[in-house]
Amino acid sequence: MRLGVLCSGGKDSLFACYRAMQEEEVACLVTLVPKNPESYLFHTPNLHMVPLQAKAAGLPLVSEMTTGIEEKEVDDLSRALAIAAERHGIEGVVTGALMSVYQSTRIQRVCHDLDLWCFNPLWYRDPGTYMERLIASGFRVIVSGVFSAPFDASWLGRELDRDALSLLMQYARDFRITLTGEGGEYETLVLDAPFFHRRIVIEESEPWYRNYRGVLDVKRARLEER
């Protein structure tokens, strides 16, 4: 089955892509880019990195603009998926949804209307097991945004390795953040994945941090042989 993967540049969408590749044929990545960059920097700091990730993975990318207005987003998503179906012959969609009933309901409805399959391979997975597997599978992931206590500025650009994971586990216990960041406590950026042909190297980035909120704005990045 030819599938399109909804990709935000973070660990969940790209891990879902990795799992989908084990079972089906991933034909493209699909991403929605908000028109107003001011409004999205704090929600999806990596979106501008998705084209580089697609290149690293050797996958075509369908990138569509979205108004960022909540009610319109569903139409924008529908348009993007219809284009992916037309251009790349996808029969289904893969998402990295972990527990968000709100998000998954919206995507399921859009897929239903377009007569597309919808797969959520990370749905209700045990967070600890998932994070362990992510690291063990050879993903290289950095924290690209923090939006909650107790994250300090040192987290921006920090690699999600075993040390970082044990600290996150402590935070999840003591500060009630979700271990996976699905509650929006932190965002990630994937620099390397087992299915990448080349890896991403950040050449220039600018951290911005104030009062438990911050982003790593990647200004310049390139691909390098693995």
Partner 1 sequence: MILLVDPAFRAGSLSMDEFVLPVGRIVERSERTWRYRHYADIGREIPEETEGVIICGTALKDNSFLSAVDRFDWLKATEIPVLGICAGMQVLCLAFGGTVGEGSEIGMTEVHVILPHPLLPPPPSFQAYELHSHSCEPPPAWETLAVSSACVQAIRDPHHPRYGVMFHPEVRNDCVVEAFLEMCVG
DSSP summary character for residue 83: H
Binding flag, residue 20, partner 1 (CB under 8 A): yes
Closest separation in Å from C-beta 174 to partner 1: 22
Tokens of 163: 């040390």
CB 89 within 8 A of CB 81: no
The site map against partner 1 for 190-209 (x = CB under 8 A) is: --------------------
Query: In terms of CB distance, is 3 or 33 closer to partner 1?
Result: 3
CB 126 within 8 A of CB 98: no
Query: In terms of CB distance, is 57 or 118 closer to partner 1?
Result: 118
DSSP summary character for residue 13: H
Helix (H) or strand (E) segment spanning residue 134:
helix 127-136
CB 187 within 8 A of CB 144: yes
Query: In terms of CB distance, is 124 or 226 closer to partner 1?
Result: 124
CA distances from 64 to 32, 134, 168, 221 (A): 5, 28, 33, 22
Residues in contact with partner 1, total (CB under 8 A)?
24
Tokens of 220: 């310049």
- Interface region with partner 1, contact rule CB under 8 A, candidates 16-24, 182-190, 198-206, 214-222: 16-24
* Window 58 to 117, contacts with partner 1 (CB under 8 A): 92, 94, 101, 105, 108-109, 111-112, 115-117
Query: In terms of CB distance, is 11 or 48 closer to partner 1?
Result: 11
Closest separation in Å from C-beta 24 to partner 1: 7
Residue with tokens 């919808």: 118
Binding-site ranges for partner 1 (CB under 8 A): 19-20, 23-24, 92, 94, 101, 105, 108-109, 111-112, 115-126
